[in-house]
Structure 1
Amino acid sequence: MTNTDIQQVLDWAVAEVGVPGIVVDVKEGSRTWFGTAGVADRETGARRRPGEYAQIGSGSKAFMATVLLGLEAEGRLSIDDPVNTWLPGVLDVNGYDGDKITIRHLLSNTGGLFATGLAPELTDRYATRAAFLEHRFDEFTTEDLFRMTVSQPPAGEPGERFLYANGGFYLAEAMIEKITGNSFAEEVERRVFRPLGLTSTYVRPRGETSYREPHPRAYSRQFFKDGTDMSAVTGENWESLLEDPGLDPLDVTEFNTSWEPGNIVSTTGDMIRAVGALASGTLLPPAQHRQMWTTVSTEGANWLPHTRYGLGVFEFEKAATGGRTLRGVGGSYWGAMFFTVSTADGEHVISVQTNIELLSWEVLRRIYEAGFGVSLGA
């Protein structure tokens, strides 16, 4: 496969899928390539360009896991410590048991926590355009996030299965701060950003609602029809309740994301360095590197197809890659999608960012198939 093949996917994503703007950064050994399609700003027509800052969304989970694994390597905690060791009582609510749920469970999304992103505290504020416009600058405190984490009963037993739950990472961030006495921003800067030379990566300060320059405008179609009763949305009827796909996307660039675990902003260039290091093991000691990439199946969890999940990171199933190891970090939320995938040696890394949430798995599938020369299945 060639970079021409990737460029064709980018053009298709804009023309056929409806992505406003997309960039792909590729590192293969000493060679690099940057491709783009669409626009950074739908009003001015400004093109996308290298070095743009964007929210990495759930990509922050990998950085949280890295900090906690680093603390384990120093003997300051065990990844198998129960949550109650460090945050006593926080999880002893609504059927949860903080003596049974461990740090490993939180970082691997196997703690039995319900899908926090479906909590009414979020859906009532952001699931429709009208609600989003009313609540986009609301701020969540740490106590708000803890309450939301346990606001619904458990979805399973600890260790039973993978279920994506942001709430586990609210607790992980709080543990980092309690154990170190420093903010997550200070710890991740010292342990990850600075050692890797990530000069264009930062934790968004609480209350900040935009990005450093340069950055694309962020757009979203991730809404139900205005007036939708979110309590009536089910797995069977949700598609019929989505807003008209012909509507223009909403500009959601200015947005208080205090509920986003980690809240990290980065560039494709920095994420290539970060994920290459995490995939190859140059940042963590061998024992902790192995733990990060000890994975569980995501089958049946409505997550990325053909993947397994580690500690804040994912790996494509080898059956889908012809036996090759491809490791990744990614996230998608209102107005941004940011995925970075690397070979196990960190030598071939592809970072993708769109200024809209993930509209179709096909976009990522086609890019990574073209870039790595694999077949990831439908």
Structure 2
Amino acid sequence: MAANENVQKVLDWTVAEVGVPGIVAEVKDGDRTWFGTAGVADLETGSPRVPGEHIHTGSSGKAFTAAVLLSLEAEGRLSLDDAVNAHLPGVLDVNGYDGDKITVRHLLSNTSGLFPTGLAPEVSYRYATRSGFDQHRFDTFSTEELLRIAVSQPPVGAPGERFEYANGGFYIAGALIEKVTGNSYADEVERRVARPLGLAHTRVRPTTDTGYPAPHPHGYTQQFLKDGTDPATVTPENWQSLMEEPGLPLMDATVLNSSLGYAAGNVVSTTSDMIRFLNALTTGELLPPDQHRQMWTTVSTEGSYWMPHTNYGLGLFEFDRRATGGRTLRGVGGSFWGTYFFAVGTPDGEHTVAVHTNTEWRSWDPMFKIIEAEFGVSITA
């Protein structure tokens, strides 16, 4: 397929020009599938990337969290318009937040007014520099600690006022799932998402895990602040200017504890499983019609520092059709140290591409170039 040849060219370009160690793309187009790679899975041995690798999917895990809560709503166990205080009284009633006004829907749509969690000093002082990351890579975060971090800084807006990407909202959503069901977040993801969809290689990563099942790529990171930068001075507006200069060596981040992700993004999966997952969400296979509609009722991300040209649903995104020439494309995606993943497809589930790099995203260019190569859609302003 000519389109896949064009995707392969983008994969090669991403390794040669963007500096990504290794990248894979898996395409499902009707009954046809295609798998392409470029670069390596391991810089030391030079081993290639292969199909079926276990990968950290980053904030794609938010869509799993949203799917579980929508499933619970369909059963009448809760409503997305419930105030958080109805289930977790007092958790949000600090630092200017109001748990009677912030709803479950606000949490899942990133419109709660919670501040960007990655800027919390408890996080940035541990991981913002190379030395800090190496010292703290095995730190384990409890749910209680994550809930404290979620509200450790004042609000950035009123509930429902605007989109602001906040992992903390999904920490609270995970705790809410556990409170309502009496089961662990991981068990509910397995019972309500992974098992019904036959995702045999997908699970929430246990807090005790620091590695991955075979096969898996090594993950490499350069996501650090410049030496001498005080993390307390970092804002959503200036963080890019404070990052390390290009050209410094990559750090192997394969072995680490990822409990910081929790219900905001700590799912390990494969590209095949994630295509299956996204297609079930886009077509309405997993959820009843009302919950499916709510999942894809979006808010604009314009003016935020998240992915450009998108609208955000509940844990997932849809490209703004003004930027795609009227074409509807939906997706999930996310990043963690040493990993970036996205899957994008058509609403009918017939045509989907899943991509993983074994380092964090350097720019949006590879993603947009892959989408143009596979779908013939140029993402424009």
Q: In the TM superposition, what is the alpha-carbon distance from 1:23 to its structure 2 partner?
A: 0.3
Structure 1 residue 305 corresponds to structure 2 residue 308: yes
Structure 1 residue 106 corresponds to structure 2 residue 107: yes
- Partners of 1:316 and 1:237 in 2: CA distance: 25
Structure 1 residue 349 corresponds to structure 2 residue 349: no
Correspondence for 1:233: 234
Correspondence for 1:190: 191
- Partners of 2:43 and 2:83 in 1: CA distance: 48
Decide whether the 8 Å contact of 1:61 with 1:261 is kept in 2. no
* 1:85-125 alpha-carbon deviations (Å, 9 max, x no partner): 10000000010000000000000000000001111111101
Q: In the TM superposition, what is the alpha-carbon distance from 1:240 to its structure 2 partner?
A: 4.6
* 1:183-205 alpha-carbon deviations (Å, 9 max, x no partner): 11111111111111100111111
- Partners of 2:269 and 2:239 in 1: CA distance: 32
- Partners of 1:42 and 1:150 in 2: CA distance: 39
Decide whether the 8 Å contact of 2:331 with 2:342 is kept in 1. yes
Amino acid at match of 2:269: S
Correspondence for 1:374: 377
Correspondence for 1:250: 251
Q: In the TM superposition, what is the alpha-carbon distance from 1:142 to its structure 2 partner?
A: 1.1
Alignment map for 1:287-298 (pairs within 5 Å): 287-298=290-301
Amino acid at match of 1:365: F
Distance 1:169 1:24, change over 3 A: same
* 1:126-163 alpha-carbon deviations (Å, 9 max, x no partner): 11101101111111111111110110000000000000
Correspondence for 1:15: 16
Correspondence for 1:26: 27
* 1:227-277 alpha-carbon deviations (Å, 9 max, x no partner): 321123356654453223111111001111111033110000000000011
- Partners of 1:303 and 1:135 in 2: CA distance: 26
Amino acid at match of 1:346: G
Structure 1 residue 93 corresponds to structure 2 residue 94: yes
Correspondence for 2:56: 55
Decide whether the 8 Å contact of 2:236 with 2:305 is kept in 1. no
Distance 1:16 1:296, change over 3 A: same
Amino acid at match of 1:214: P
Correspondence for 1:115: 116
- Partners of 1:78 and 1:235 in 2: CA distance: 32
- Partners of 2:74 and 2:125 in 1: CA distance: 41
- Partners of 2:210 and 2:227 in 1: CA distance: 24
- Partners of 2:238 and 2:323 in 1: CA distance: 31
Correspondence for 1:152: 153
Correspondence for 1:337: 340
Correspondence for 1:215: 216
Distance 1:366 1:147, change over 3 A: same
Distance 1:237 1:264, change over 3 A: closer
Distance 1:247 1:96, change over 3 A: same
Aligned residues: 378
- Partners of 2:260 and 2:137 in 1: CA distance: 11
Correspondence for 2:201: 200
- Partners of 1:343 and 1:236 in 2: CA distance: 33
Correspondence for 1:286: 289
Seq. identity, %: 67
Q: In the TM superposition, what is the alpha-carbon distance from 1:26 to its structure 2 partner?
A: 0.2
Q: In the TM superposition, what is the alpha-carbon distance from 1:322 to its structure 2 partner?
A: 1.8
- Stretches of structure 1 that go unaligned for 5 or more consecutive residues are none
Distance 1:173 1:240, change over 3 A: closer
Distance 1:289 1:210, change over 3 A: same
- Stretches of structure 2 that go unaligned for 5 or more consecutive residues are none
Decide whether the 8 Å contact of 2:119 with 2:234 is kept in 1. no
- Partners of 1:302 and 1:241 in 2: CA distance: 15
Decide whether the 8 Å contact of 1:166 with 1:261 is kept in 2. no
Decide whether the 8 Å contact of 1:58 with 1:261 is kept in 2. no
Amino acid at match of 2:52: G
- Partners of 1:94 and 1:209 in 2: CA distance: 33
2:38 is paired with a residue of what secondary structure? strand
1:318 is paired with a residue of what secondary structure? coil
Structure 1 residue 362 corresponds to structure 2 residue 344: no
Amino acid at match of 2:339: A
RMSD: 1.1
Decide whether the 8 Å contact of 1:369 with 1:376 is kept in 2. yes
Worse-superposed segment, 310-319 or 256-265 = 256-265
Q: In the TM superposition, what is the alpha-carbon distance from 1:377 to its structure 2 partner?
A: 1.5
